[in-house]
A = this chain, B = another copy of it.
Amino acid sequence: MAFFSFIENGQVNSLDSTAFLKNCYLCRMITYTEENYLKSILMLSEGKDSVGVNLLSRELNIKMPTVTSMMKRLSEKGLVVFDPYKPIRLTEEGRLQASLVIRKHRLTETFLFEKMGLGWEQIHTIAEQIEHIQSPVFFDKMDELLNYPSIDPHGEPIPTKEGKIITHPYTKLSEHKVGETVLFSKVGDPSEKFLILLNQKELKLGEKIRIEAVESYDNSFTVSYGANKKEVFSKIIADKIWVE
């Protein structure tokens, strides 16, 4: 039986190969489930830099006690900083890993949309599964075939291989005024329902939108775009349309 050693917290640990792979933080693999937690933490902590257990629990559709116990595990693995009753923050390593999962997700969405011709309302759920595939060549090949894209079909930035995420300073359609013409740049809700709604309205990413009127009573927007399209978007919808 071969033994391996590593130093952690100033302690020398000697373990057989199986135990080594499970315990040495350099070797610890991130599970499918852990990847999902990391991804959600990164996306929810945008801006604030931290998330509460409750919010994370809702996002993942997982009960709070489960989230708490997972946070202990991720904390032991050095991927998050977690103190009881305090919000959760990613470590440097945690942020990198989360970014790489998001990279795989968005590369996949782009591939499914651009190269396979699937609808933008279909690609999210498929990418949620493919993002966990373990195969660098597979994603590198996608990247190459797509000619190293930087934005996915919903207008979200694709993180670089180094985990860097370039965020564009888009604004909500709802924040603009009558008479302005803006460019539809990012979808604010990746749900199938919302994307099917946009399909029905024939509103595609990159479309020029002109604000014809704003009803002050309910903040609904009357807009025109494309070849002769004229639609009314409620505040709820106008909040989910990011523009430039």
A contacts, CB < 8 Å to B = 112, 115-118, 122, 125-126, 129-130, 133-135, 137-138, 141-142, 145
Min CB–CB distance A213 → chain B (angstroms): 39
A125 touching B135 by the CB < 8 A rule? Answer: yes
Q: A137 — nearest CB in chain B belongs to which residue?
A: B122
Chain B residues whose C-beta falls within 8 Å of the C-beta of A138 in the assembled complex: 112, 118, 126
15 contacts between A and B (CB under 8 A): A115-B115, A116-B141, A116-B142, A117-B145, A118-B141, A122-B137, A126-B133, A126-B135, A126-B137, A126-B138, A129-B133, A129-B134, A129-B135, A130-B130, A130-B133
Residue of chain B at shortest CB distance from A129: B133
* Chain multiplicity (copies): 2
Partner of A118, one of B112, B125, B133, B137: B137
Q: A116-B142, A118-B141 are in contact. List 5 more A-B contacts (CB 8 A).
A: A112-B138, A116-B145, A117-B141, A129-B133, A130-B130
Rounded to whole angstroms, the CA-CA distance of A134 and B132 in the bound complex is 13
* A129 contacts across to B, CB distance below 8 A: 133-135
- Nearest-Cβ distance from residue A114 to partner chain B, whole angstroms: 13
Q: What residues of chain B lie closer than 8 Å to A122, measured between beta carbons?
A: 137
Chain B contacts for A117, CB-based, 8 A? 141, 145
A115-B118 Cα distance, complex, nearest whole Å: 15
Nearest-CB distance from A47 to chain B (Å)?
Answer: 33
Closest to A138 in B: B126
